[in-house]
């Protein structure tokens, strides 16, 4: 079960955190993994990890917010089978404390970046007679996390894009789902804590762990396992759905 043998898979933001965990697990399951990241160095680290474990992978420096770069990269990769739209950035602020430049930056990466990769992937899926897409949303899309206006807005758009794409391409054998993690312990979280809560890192880490009723943050490997199931042939009946993976955050936090 859950074999991805010879499936050509693109993982955006595959150089770190959740993207790295997905890239390495998919390679272990037999996929040919193409790692896209703003940072070629990080993508290269994931590539080295995969190769050391005997897998097949390639790395590319590419800004998902730049459509020309994205289309050129996907054309180089060729007829893909799986797209993991995972690259994303964080931002703290309410509507009146979010600067226009920060709003634009979050939209460029977290919304336009997803659109750009979908735009570039669809023609490649057609060459493969179908495909599977996972968009990385967030519990922020479900509940609107306090002080995360731009981020929550962007992830809401990711969820709506998932429905739109699932509907438009269902006749072309393309499945599209999204995953909504609560807090997952990755460099994304560590970077956000050190930037915004300097001197109170341990306290903030504990607070963020306890915001999941289960009492801890998620692990990147746990998100990767869900992505693997959703991309496998075993999940062939699943499309147009969002999957929270949240230690009880959405339903049990009251
Ligand atoms: N970690 C969490 O708590 C959490 C929770 C919910 C959702 N998510 C989402 O999961 C995804 C991955 O998060 P993570 O925690 O692994 O983050 P991370 O910061 O560890 O990794 C993100 C990767 O994306 C890359 N990236 C950023 N901007 C890019 C761009 N413009 N073009 C190409 N690559 C770019 C970064 O270089 C980095 O390697 C994001 O979309 C994030 O919003 C994370």
Atom 32, ligand 1: residue with shortest CA distance: 63
pLDDT, mean of residues 113-131: 98
What is the model's pLDDT at position 91? 92
Quick: pLDDT tens for 48-93: 999 999 999 999 999 999 999 999 999 999 999 999 999 999 999 9
Do 250 and 186 touch, CB atoms closer than 8 A? no
144-166 burial string, b = 16+ CB within 10 Å, else e? Answer: ebeebbbbbbbbbbbbebbbebb
Distance separating alpha carbons of residues 188 and 91, to the nearest angstrom: 11
What is the model's pLDDT at position 35? 98
Task: Work out the angle at residue 212's Cα, subtended by the Cα atoms of residues 89 and 146, and round it to the nearest 5 degrees.
Answer: 50
Q: Which residues are catalytic?
A: 151
Residue 247 CB less than 6 A away from ligand 1: no
pLDDT, mean of residues 119-135: 98
Question: What's the token pair of residue 72?
Answer: 């050129």
Q: Is the pLDDT of residue 43 over 90?
A: yes
Read off the pLDDT band of 175 (50, 70, 90): very high
Task: Tell me, in angstroms, the distance from the centre of ligand 1 to residue 171's CA.
Answer: 31
More confident residue, 64 or 190: 64
CB atoms within 10 A of CB 215: 10
Atom of ligand 1 nearest to the CA of 43: 39
What is the model's pLDDT at position 192? 83
Instruction: Tell me which H or E stretch contains 247.
Output: none
pLDDT, mean of residues 32-54: 98
Task: Tell me, in angstroms, the distance from the centre of ligand 1 to residue 13's CA.
Answer: 6
């Amino acid at each position: 079960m859950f074999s991805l043998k010879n499936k050509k898979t693109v993982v955006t933001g595959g150089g770190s955190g959740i993207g790295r965990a997905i890239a390495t697990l998919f390679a272990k399951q037999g996929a040919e993994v193409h790692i896209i990241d703003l940072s070629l160095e990080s993508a290269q680290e994931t590539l080295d990890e995969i190769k050391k474990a005997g897998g097949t992978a390639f790395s590319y420096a590419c800004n998902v917010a730049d459509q020309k770069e994205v289309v050129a990269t996907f054309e180089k990769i060729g007829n893909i089978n799986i797209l993991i739209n995972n690259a994303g950035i964080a931002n703290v602020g309410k509507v009146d404390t979010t600067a226009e430049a920060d709003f634009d930056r979050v939209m460029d990466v977290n919304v336009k970046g997803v659109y750009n990769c979908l735009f570039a992937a669809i023609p490649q899926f057609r060459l493969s007679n179908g495909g599977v897409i996972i968009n990385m949303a967030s519990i922020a899309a479900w509940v609107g996390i306090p002080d995360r206006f731009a981020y929550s807005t962007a992830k809401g758009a990711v969820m709506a894009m998932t429905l739109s794409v699932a509907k438009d391409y269902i006749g072309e054998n393309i499945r599209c789902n999204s995953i909504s993690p609560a807090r997952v312990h990755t460099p994304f979280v560590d970077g956000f804590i050190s930037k915004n809560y300097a001197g109170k890192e341990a306290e903030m880490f504990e607070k963020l762990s306890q915001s999941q009723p289960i009492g801890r943050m998620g692990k990147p490997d746990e998100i990767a396992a869900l992505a693997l199931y959703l991309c496998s042939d075993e999940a062939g009946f699943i499309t147009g759905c969002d999957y929270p993976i949240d230690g009880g955050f959405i339903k049990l936090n009251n």
